[in-house]
Structure 1
């Protein structure tokens, strides 16, 4: 079972993802900043990352680039409340596996994570 890391500055998103995915048997950790996410990634591997596009301490696209450079096998699913075709295309070009818009329901989350885990 792949471990999942949620990097999002909204506490409710991290908690919601943790609860929903844990009920499906995933091991999930969440952090509230890009910096904390990178620190945790240096300490332990994660198969899937749910990454917010806009955070106060670090741009999600820059963090995506760093993650794909250092851990190219890690699948990154971008999550954002500011969805646009341009940002989706940019994220996918930078190596994101998928891109989902907030608010999302548990089924959307499960499907994205399941696809990334295959």
Structure 2
């Protein structure tokens, strides 16, 4: 059984494949999407735990994608990656619910650690939600 489901969204296939090659040996089931619309479809059809998305894409940017994903899957954690890092773009991504922000090129260990932390955070949020429901159901 996989540790979790990770979706990698980038218009560059080489980036998607690199992320997949890094994450699959760690025990993750990795999905790929070459566009934001494809990513939304994958999220709607699968219980994705973590999305790793590029910020700059032709169809829509990573922050817009983040907003769409949070609407359909609020507990999914989203990591934004970009080669054009600015403080403003990082702040905007975090404001709309990104778990973290990573600059390209990134180190393999850096990506693995951020994905692991995002998955742990998602599991804690799910457990918290279950406990709240159990408590409110008991009273």
TM range (shorter): over 0.9
TM-superposed deviation, 1:92? 0.4
1:96 is paired with a residue whose SS is: coil
DSSP-derived class of the 2:75 partner: coil
Selected match of 1:102 from 87, 95, 104: 104
The SS at the match of 2:53 is strand
CA distance in 2, matches of 1:55, 1:78: 12
SS in structure 1 at match of 2:32: strand
Partner residue, 1:115: 117
The equivalences for 1:50-61 within 5 A come to 50-61=52-63
Pairwise CA distance, 1:112: 0.5
**TM-score normalised by the chain length of structure 2:** 0.83
Larger helix proportion, structure 1 or 2? 2
Unmatched runs of 5 consecutive residues or more in structure 1: none
Larger radius of gyration: 2
Larger relative CO (CA 8 A, sep 6+): 1 or 2? 1
Unaligned runs of 5+ in 2: 121-139
Task: Give the TM-score of the pair, scaled to structure 1.
Answer: 0.97
